[in-house]
Structure 1
Amino acid sequence: MKPVFKALPTDEVRALQAGGADAYGRTPERRVSDGDGVPCRHCLKNVDAEEAYLVLAYRPFPALQPYAETGPIFLHAEPCERARESDILPELFGRTAAYIVRGYDADDRIVYGTGAVVPTADIPERAGELLARGDIAYLHMRSAKNNCYQCRIERG
Structure 2
Amino acid sequence: MNNFKIVPLSKAFVQKIKTTMTDDFGNPVVEQLATGLGPCRISLKPFNKGVDKRLLFKHSPFELENAYNQPGPVFVNAEDVEEYTDVFRFPPEIKANKQSFPLSLIGYNKDQMMAVTRLVGDADIDDLINDLFDQHPDIEYLHARNAQACCFICKIERR
**Range class of TM-score, shorter chain:** 0.7 to 0.9
Look up the match of 1:142.
145
Q: 1:40 and 1:18, CA in 2 relative to 1: closer, same or farther beyond 3 A?
A: same
Cα shift at 1:139: 0.3
Q: Percent identity?
A: 26
Please give the alpha-carbon distance, in whole angstroms, between the structure 2 residues aligned to 1:152 and 1:92.
17
Asked if residue 154 in structure 1 is aligned to residue 150 in structure 2, the reply is: no
Look up the match of 2:129.
127
Cα shift at 1:102: 1.0
Cα shift at 1:120: 5.5
Alignment of 1:3-42 (within 5 A): 3-34=4-35, 36-42=36-42
Structure 2 residue runs of 5 or longer lacking an equivalent are none
TM-score normalized by structure 1? 0.88
Cα shift at 1:19: 2.8
4+ residue runs over 6 A deviation: none
Output one character per residue of 1:118-146: Cα deviation in whole Å (capped at 9) or x when no partner.
12642111211222332110000101111
Which amino acid letter does the alignment assign opposite residue 116 of structure 1? R
Look up the match of 1:46.
46
Residue-pair matches, total: 153
Look up the match of 2:119.
117
Task: Give the one of 89, 94, 101 matched to 2:105.
Answer: 101
Alignment of 1:70-81 (within 5 A): 70-81=71-82
Output one character per residue of 1:34-75: Cα deviation in whole Å (capped at 9) or x when no partner.
4x4231000111223322110111100113211100111100
Please give the alpha-carbon distance, in whole angstroms, between the structure 2 residues aligned to 1:131 and 1:146.
25
TM-score normalized by structure 2? 0.86
Which amino acid letter does the alignment assign opposite residue 42 of structure 1? I
Cα RMSD, aligned residues only: 1.8
Give yes or no for contact 1:99–1:143 (8 Å, CA) kept in 2.
Answer: yes
Output one character per residue of 1:4-51: Cα deviation in whole Å (capped at 9) or x when no partner.
2221122211111223432431121011124x4231000111223322
Please give the alpha-carbon distance, in whole angstroms, between the structure 2 residues aligned to 1:71 and 1:120.
26
Cα shift at 1:82: 0.4
Give yes or no for contact 1:23–1:70 (8 Å, CA) kept in 2.
Answer: no
Cα shift at 1:83: 0.5
Structure 1 residue runs of 5 or longer lacking an equivalent are none
